[in-house]
A = this chain, B = another copy of it.
């Protein structure tokens, strides 16, 4: 455990380094803590022994280590009060009552990304537990149909179906009616089973080209499971000095293009979670701040990605603000 002065010191070093991106020297701190640089150096070397600080080289100033950031986040950090300007920008979105939840979230995150210079990620609301509330089929021409599935939480997915053989409009209608009858109210991830074991046997009896039709719908439904990921402000974060060499940037970009890695962000518990450096499985210089939300029975995850050296207090405050204003029903 750190004593009062050590805690203050760590806080100062983290926050100064976050601001300037330069190792913090003992001299720079004297004034703030009212003691000489030598005293600071003594304390610094203790914090370094504890593993909370690091030097970039033997005679450099100190930089927070990963453990240092972790300690800061766990024990020192308190959400910063939002400044008036930021508050105002977000407020206009909160107040726009014609926005539905999804739009409220993506718009807010766009702004947050800009305000923090971080990359904002909105992970597709996991629609697995959405229930089918309507299936619709619209013919485009002889061989093409559009299947539309709507869930009870307001998500819509559509898929174009191509049917090679001639299938009568009547058969199609019959199939759709049947599907509607059998699977309304079913959770999306259950639909596959029901189609296979309950719907298929029946249409096999009544519908002539049932194989063709069945396959078309089956692929349509299974495709709906895929989740969407949207990102904004990739460039913002890459402007940070920790990403000032080409290979580093390329690496980060590659990671972003690989959806699997982005998806991994989602596997964790509720509230705001902060993953620092190696904890991210992404990059040792990167921190990911993640928040699950639940509103109107719909849940999702938003995340901010940026250098370890980020304004944790501001980020947390912003996310909490978004969550706060989401609860009030949209």
Looking at A186-194, A199-207, A232-240, A309-317, the stretch in contact with chain B turns out to be A232-240
Chain B nearest Cβ from A31, distance in angstroms: 35
Minimum CB–CB distance for A53 against chain B, Å: 27
Q: Which of B102, B153, B160, B235 contacts A250 (CB 8 A)?
A: B235
Select from chain B the residue with minimum beta-carbon distance to A239.
B250
In chain A, positions 212-267 with a C-beta closer than 8 Å to chain B are 216, 219, 232-235, 238-239, 243-246, 248-250, 253-254, 257
A140, B102: Cα distance in complex, Å: 15
Chain B residues, CB < 8 A from A111 = none
Rounded to whole angstroms, the CA-CA distance of A99 and B163 in the bound complex is 10
* A148, A238, A239, A245, most chain B CB atoms within 10 A: A148
> Least Cβ distance of A7 to chain B in Å?
36
A98 is an interface residue with CB less than 8 A from chain B: yes
The residue from B99, B102, B136, B257 contacting A234, defined by CB atoms under 8 A apart: B257
Chain B residue, CB-CB nearest to A231 = B257
Whether A152 is near chain B, meaning CB under 8 Å from some CB there, is yes
A154 CB contact (under 8 Å) in B99, B146, B153, B154: B146
The proximity string for A residues 99-111 relative to B, scoring 1 for CB distances below 8 Å and 0 otherwise, is 1101100000000
A113 to chain B, nearest CB (A): 11
Which single residue of chain B is at the shortest CB-CB distance from A102?
A: B160
Number of copies: 2
Number of A residues with CB within 8 Å of any CB on chain B: 42
User: How near does chain B come to A93, taking the closest CB pair, in angstroms?
Assistant: 14
A contact face: mostly helix, strand, loop, or mixed: mixed
Give the CA-CA distance A250 to B103 in the complex, in Å: 28
- Chain A positions 124 through 154: 1 when the CB is less than 8 Å from some CB of chain B, otherwise 0: 0000000001101010100010101010111
Q: Does A57 contact B (CB under 8 A)?
A: no
Cβ of A75 within 8 Å of any chain B Cβ, yes or no, is: no
Would A154 and B144 be within 8 Å (CB), given that A133-B138, A246-B249 are in contact?
yes
Task: For A243, give its contact among B136, B152, B156, B246 (CB under 8 Å).
Answer: B246
In the complex, what's the smallest C-beta–C-beta distance from A218 to chain B, in angstroms?
12
A42 within 8 A of B: no
Q: Any chain B CB within 8 A of the CB of A67?
A: no
| Interface flag for A158 (CB, 8 Å) | yes
Whole-angstrom CA separation of A257 from B235 in the bound complex: 8
> Which of these, B100, B133, B158, B235, contacts A253 with CB under 8 Å?
B235
Closest 5 interchain pairs by CB? A156-B158, A100-B160, A140-B154, A235-B254, A244-B246
5 residue pairs A–B, Cβ–Cβ below 8 Å? A97-B164, A133-B140, A146-B154, A154-B160, A246-B246
Which residue numbers of A lie inside 8 Å of B, CB to CB?
A: 97-100, 102-103, 133-134, 136, 138, 140, 144, 146, 148, 150, 152-154, 156, 158, 160, 162, 164, 216, 219, 232-235, 238-239, 243-246, 248-250, 253-254, 257, 330
Known: A148-B156, A156-B158, A235-B254. 7 other contacts (CB 8 A): A100-B162, A146-B156, A162-B330, A235-B250, A235-B253, A239-B250, A243-B246
